[in-house]
Amino acid sequence: MNTVPHWGIFITEPMILGSDVLIVLTSVAIVFVLTKFKKWGWLWREWLTTVDHKKIGIMYLIAALLMLFRGGVDAELMRTQLALPNLSFLDAEHYDEIFTTHGIIMILFMAMPFIFALFNIVVPLQIGARDVAFPYLNAISFWLFFFGALLMNISFVIGGSPDAGWTSYPPLTELGFNPGPGENYYLLALQISGIGSMATGINFLVTILKMRAPGMTLWRMPLFTWSVLSSCVMILFAFPALTVALALLLLDRTLGAHFFTMLHGGNPMMFINLFWIWGHPEVYIVILPAFGVLSEVISTFSRKATFGYGSMVFALVAISIVGFLTWVHHFFTMGAGADVNLFFAIATMVVGIPTGVKVFNWLFTMYRGRIRMTLPMMWAVAFIPCFAIGGATGVMLAVAPADYQYHNSYFLVAHFHQALIGGAVLSLVAGMYYWWPKMFGFMLDERLGQWGFWFFNIGFYVCFMPQYALGLMGMTRRIYTYPAGLGWTVPNFISTIGAYMMGIGFLFIVWQILYSIKHGKRDVTGDPWDGRTLEWSLPSPAPHYNFATIPTIQGRDAWWMAKQGELDKKDFLPDKDDIKPIHMPKNSGRPFILSVSFFIIGLGIVFGVIPFEVIGGLGVAFCMFRRSFEYDTDYYVPVDEVIHTESALGRLQG
């Protein structure tokens, strides 16, 4: 490959030059602040080497919000280009790169870390555990995600971004049609972060199955934890298919294999099947935890137990199974034949049944509840009509013959944005608001949040409703401009206004966070929402060992029962005589170094620089051998320290 970098690639384009300048300035500012306030040691000790699930969750959340910004800027650039016919704000090449990175970043580097943030922050606290099953592996997962995302994000300024869509179909993505490093960036960034995702799936499955507090049977588990369990099972069954699809395409591009080429017997359809065997379950991997968030939020703010707990669990499990039988609906038009299309069309519609069960259960939970319209509840309530429309248009798309009309049109674009924004993003934001005080110990400002809510949600409909019409009018996705006189101008212009409104909504949320760091109400109770599940029995933020003594769980929503006087509230507070030394994992810098090594391998393969591959490979091997020979991996928190912490929090009994 003649893709060795040269300095010219850094300064060829004004837009790239602008990005270079911004990156350099931001980096200099970060280095300056860290040095001036002597924070390097703090950064290393408290964050880069941490194995604490709460801190890892916070890092995932920050990364997800940053990536939401990056993906959002991509979206605003595209909508600006499409606002009017024949604009030349972006040229075709940049437009292709931007819609590709927008898709990749929003799904893999925004939605995935956002759900992992909530997995990490909530699950151990909700099941009464002191950390996840494999804290060291958890840190590896985060840093692999982080360096995968970094590899993706530097592509724009070093060598060029991928430009073949987030689905990256061959033969377009084969070397002959797509030379240069862009596509390699895609393959490596996803592969590296994908290893991390798979490890997270294993970690949380084992955590939930094996580390629940005594008395917390599966049928007493909070619905968010159930949703994480279902999502993890899907991760484990889906991600290997992505690993294989990416690896085989990489072999085609770097070693001249013929899996998906047009010549020498290759079969491009094989990639498309493998990709969507992962890709469709991936949508449910993201949406199931979002469903879990809604169950918690709606139940808490209706002051009622979730209606139909058993059917909620059944629905989660049913979706996680049927979700594996729908992947062909992404390419009905590729001629698989009527029988195959029929099977997948019906399976796709069947997913609507358990999903409908969940929506009705949330409505029945609110029915006759004492509803409080707090910020998390507003986002949860906004979800229901939005997701219902997204689901209904999904069933329209599932009708295989009709799909020949909708396929690859803006109707599809509007549908999946409504399913993913209306489904995942609204509920994940609800979850962020809901658990924010648990993470940081302060509340987010309600008034600024209201502005953000209305701008984002009204903006959403203004942006995407016209796109359904545009799709039916024949506008296909991924075109970078269009002529005047087709009747597309007005809907496109309205859509762009909506996109700007969503952007303003996001800025309000950022402002709200920054404002509340200083002015937000402090949460001294640990239970600001009058919550139902175990995490609200702890102080905000929870001490690093979470539970001084592990409570015994005697019912579903046990903390709520205790507050109602049905159980003894003292069971949830530590007794001085019961406190024993607490076994905790030690921090380690190796997950960070291991992931840097993966990053170096990734760069090496992207540009075909063998020394990088060798150095990175040695780094990985070194880290793994050091870990194998490491026996001093954990320590005990002494009783005195626990007693001191708990009595300072005013929680100690006896």
Partner 1 sequence: MTTLAHNNVEHHHGAGDHVHVDYPERPIEYQTQDGALKILGFWVFLATDLILFACLFATFIVLRTHTDGGPTGKELFDVPIFTAETLILLTSSFTGGLATFEMHRGHRNRVIGWLIVTALLGLAFVGLEVNEFVHMALEGATMQRSAFLSAFFTLVGTHGCHVSLGILWMTGIIIQLFQRGITPITARKVYIVNMYWHFLDVVWVFLFTIVYLMGVM
Per CB under 8 A, the list member of 70, 130, 212, 407 interacting with partner 1 is: 130
* Segment 182 to 211, residues that bind partner 1, using CB under 8 A: 198, 201-203, 205-206, 209-211
Q: Does 266 bind partner 1 (CB under 8 A)?
A: yes
CB of 197 to partner 1, least distance (A): 11
Reduced DSSP (H G I as helix, E B as strand, rest coil) percent helix, strand, coil of the chain, to 5:
70, 0, 30
**CA distances, 114 to each of 33, 72, 104, 485, 605 (Å):** 27, 15, 14, 42, 28
Alpha helices in 520-654 (DSSP H): 558-563, 590-607, 610-628, 639-648
Per CB under 8 A, the list member of 8, 38, 611, 629 interacting with partner 1 is: 629
Q: Does 32 bind partner 1 (CB under 8 A)?
A: no
Q: Give the integer Cα–Cα distance in Å for 423 and 426.
A: 6
Q: From 140-148, 400-408, 449-457, 581-589, give the range in contact with partner 1 by CB under 8 A.
A: 581-589
Q: Does 243 bind partner 1 (CB under 8 A)?
A: yes
**DSSP reduced 3-state for 476:** strand
* Segment 517 to 556, residues that bind partner 1, using CB under 8 A: 549-550
Pick 278 or 307: Cβ nearer partner 1: 278
Q: Does 80 bind partner 1 (CB under 8 A)?
A: no
Q: What is the largest CA-CA distance in the chain?
A: 80
**CA distances, 637 to each of 50, 473, 543 (Å):** 16, 66, 12
Q: From 123-131, 155-163, 171-179, 316-324, give the range in contact with partner 1 by CB under 8 A.
A: 123-131
- The tokens for 181 are 């490093």
Q: Does 292 bind partner 1 (CB under 8 A)?
A: no
Q: How many other CB atoms sit within 10 Å of the CB of residue 84?
A: 15
Give the number of C-alpha atoms closer than 13 A to the C-alpha of residue 360, restricted to the C-beta side.
9
Q: Does 597 bind partner 1 (CB under 8 A)?
A: no
The answer to whether 91 and 174 have CB atoms below 8 angstroms apart is no
Per CB under 8 A, the list member of 45, 519, 570, 580 interacting with partner 1 is: 580
Nearest to 374 by CA among 295, 288, 453, 457: 453
Per CB under 8 A, the list member of 86, 88, 255, 518 interacting with partner 1 is: 255
Q: Does 256 bind partner 1 (CB under 8 A)?
A: yes
**DSSP reduced 3-state for 369:** coil
Q: Which strand (E) or helix (H) includes residue 583?
A: strand 582-585
Q: Does 125 bind partner 1 (CB under 8 A)?
A: no
Pick 251 or 350: Cβ nearer partner 1: 251
Per CB under 8 A, the list member of 521, 625, 647, 653 interacting with partner 1 is: 625
Nearest to 65 by CA among 465, 506, 415, 437: 506
Nearest to 126 by CA among 283, 286, 289, 236: 289
Q: Does 275 bind partner 1 (CB under 8 A)?
A: no
Pick 195 or 389: Cβ nearer partner 1: 195
Per CB under 8 A, the list member of 85, 165, 171, 240 interacting with partner 1 is: 240
Q: Does 136 bind partner 1 (CB under 8 A)?
A: no
CB of 164 to partner 1, least distance (A): 21
Pick 331 or 456: Cβ nearer partner 1: 331
Amino acid identity, position 448? L
Q: Does 340 bind partner 1 (CB under 8 A)?
A: no
Pick 168 or 261: Cβ nearer partner 1: 261
The answer to whether 399 and 333 have CB atoms below 8 angstroms apart is no
Give the number of C-alpha atoms closer than 13 A to the C-alpha of residue 314, restricted to the C-beta side.
9
Pick 258 or 651: Cβ nearer partner 1: 258
Per CB under 8 A, the list member of 143, 239, 506, 598 interacting with partner 1 is: 239
Q: Does 86 bind partner 1 (CB under 8 A)?
A: no
Q: Does 215 bind partner 1 (CB under 8 A)?
A: no
Per CB under 8 A, the list member of 257, 371, 510, 649 interacting with partner 1 is: 257
Provide the Cα torsion 219, 278, 124, 42; round to 10°: -170
Only one residue has tokens 């001093």, namely: 632
Per CB under 8 A, the list member of 109, 143, 237, 291 interacting with partner 1 is: 237
Pick 516 or 546: Cβ nearer partner 1: 546
Q: Does 151 bind partner 1 (CB under 8 A)?
A: no
Question: Which of 630-643 are b and which e, b meaning 16 or more Cβ less than 10 Å from the residue's Cβ?
Answer: eeeeeeebeeeebe
- The tokens for 532 are 């139902």
Q: Does 1 bind partner 1 (CB under 8 A)?
A: no
Q: Does 145 bind partner 1 (CB under 8 A)?
A: no
Amino acid identity, position 237? F
Q: Does 258 bind partner 1 (CB under 8 A)?
A: yes
CB of 568 to partner 1, least distance (A): 21
Pick 276 or 387: Cβ nearer partner 1: 276
Per CB under 8 A, the list member of 77, 104, 154, 241 interacting with partner 1 is: 241
Only one residue has tokens 């708990």, namely: 646
Q: At what angle do helices 182-210 and 135-154 cross, to 10 degrees?
A: 160
The answer to whether 376 and 430 have CB atoms below 8 angstroms apart is yes
Backbone angles phi and psi of 476, in degrees to 5: -90, 160
Number of residues that bind partner 1 (CB under 8 A): 53
Pick 126 or 302: Cβ nearer partner 1: 126
Q: Does 325 bind partner 1 (CB under 8 A)?
A: no
Q: Does 172 bind partner 1 (CB under 8 A)?
A: no
**CA distances, 207 to each of 84, 132, 134, 200 (Å):** 52, 5, 8, 10
CB of 276 to partner 1, least distance (A): 12
Pick 15 or 202: Cβ nearer partner 1: 202
Only one residue has tokens 């590899």, namely: 151
Q: Does 236 bind partner 1 (CB under 8 A)?
A: yes
CB of 507 to partner 1, least distance (A): 40
Q: Give the integer Cα–Cα distance in Å for 576 and 574.
A: 6
Amino acid identity, position 289? P
Only one residue has tokens 């704000």, namely: 89
Per CB under 8 A, the list member of 52, 96, 97, 131 interacting with partner 1 is: 131
Q: Does 586 bind partner 1 (CB under 8 A)?
A: no
CB of 175 to partner 1, least distance (A): 12
CB of 255 to partner 1, least distance (A): 6
Amino acid identity, position 318? A
Q: Give the integer Cα–Cα distance in Å for 557 and 498.
A: 40
Q: Give the integer Cα–Cα distance in Å for 124 and 54.
A: 9
CB of 633 to partner 1, least distance (A): 9
The answer to whether 80 and 496 have CB atoms below 8 angstroms apart is yes
CB of 625 to partner 1, least distance (A): 6
| Interface ranges with partner 1 (CB under 8 A) | 129-131, 133-134, 198, 201-203, 205-206, 209-211, 236-237, 239-241, 243-245, 247-248, 251-252, 255-259, 261, 263-267, 270, 274, 277, 549-550, 580-585, 625, 628-629, 631, 634
